[in-house]
Amino acid sequence: MKIWIDADACPKPIKEVAFKAAMKREIHLIMVANQIIQHPRSPFIKMIKVSAGFDVADNYIAANVEANDIVITADVPLADLVVKANAFAIEPRGKLLTADTIAERVATRNLMESLRTIGEVSGGPKAFSAQDTQAFANGFDRLLTRLIQAQK
């Protein structure tokens, strides 16, 4: 099991929660972004810099994720690929996306994108908060604990 972070747009508090968990539980964490992201020095944390471009980091993660890995991402199409690879996708706000929930999330994303295109909806998600960080930390810990127990 590895932890992947779609790091270009991942909020800093979420990366910090993931860093601490990876080091504490000795799980390899790989950040993928088109720029170097600051991170603690640890044998368990690795940064992969990909070239700039649309979905380059997402494509790298999708091509390398394995079953039972965890991917932290807010990108719904990437989460869909992750779930189809029998891995786990968790959003920075703590929602775990599964085979049962991803189809609904993809449909909602596509609808909202269409509504934004025709000008019916503007803006994006609400500002990231400390409550969101706590929700992520709780959901991420539950997922890690479940996966570690399953490996024993």
- Set out the domains of the chain in order of their start, with CATH numbers: 2-151 (3.40.50)
Closest CA to 6 of 84, 77, 109: 77
pLDDT for 123-135, tens place per residue?
Answer: 666 788 999 999 9
Q: Is the pLDDT of residue 46 over 90?
A: yes
pTM for this predicted structure:
0.87
pLDDT of residue 125: 67
11 φ/ψ angles, rounded to the nearest 5 degrees: -60, 145
Alpha helices, DSSP H, located in the chain: 12-25, 56-64, 76-84, 99-117, 130-151
Q: Which token pair is 1?
A: 């099991």
Between the two ends of the chain, the Cα-to-Cα distance in Å is: 13
The answer to whether the CB of 92 falls within 8 A of the CB of 136 is yes
Q: Between 56 and 111, where is the model more confident?
A: 56
Angle between helices 76-84 and 56-64 (to 10 degrees): 10
d(CA 117, CA 137): 34
Q: Is the pLDDT of residue 67 over 90?
A: yes
Mean pLDDT of the chain: 91
pLDDT for 71-93, tens place per residue?
Answer: 999 998 999 999 999 999 999 99
